[in-house]
Structure 1
């Protein structure tokens, strides 16, 4: 992010209960999404967000790749830069 209003946490800045979550994302994806790094300021919200994210992406009849394409398209339509 170029000029975030809320600075996302680095893994070193994360609360002890957040570090295992960050480590899992680093292992699975190779990075920690900025959205998760920002929400990590409130660990209880991060846990809820990740549970929702995993449910949306991993369950249902729509293929994961199509969900990812929709995610990218919606981000583009909303003017997100990445």
Structure 2
């Protein structure tokens, strides 16, 4: 989670209830379906166990190399899809 916060340069909140990927899918579907008006409303229901703060020095390092990651993805996209 720290790496995600660092790459994005944003705080990442971890919900108190973390059952698995299918639970996350259901949460996003409930938001998209209108069961909750906003991410903020949904966050109040789920509760926050921990908030990870980005290391902005790491964020700047990732950002300065973003063009390399983008090029790696572009060059390998077709090969990665063959693995599926």
TM-score of the superposed pair, with normalisation by structure 2: 0.29
Q: Give the strand-richer structure, 1 or 2.
A: 2
Higher relative contact order (CA 8 A, sep 6+): 2
Q: Give the helix-richer structure, 1 or 2.
A: 2
Rg bigger for which structure?
Answer: 2
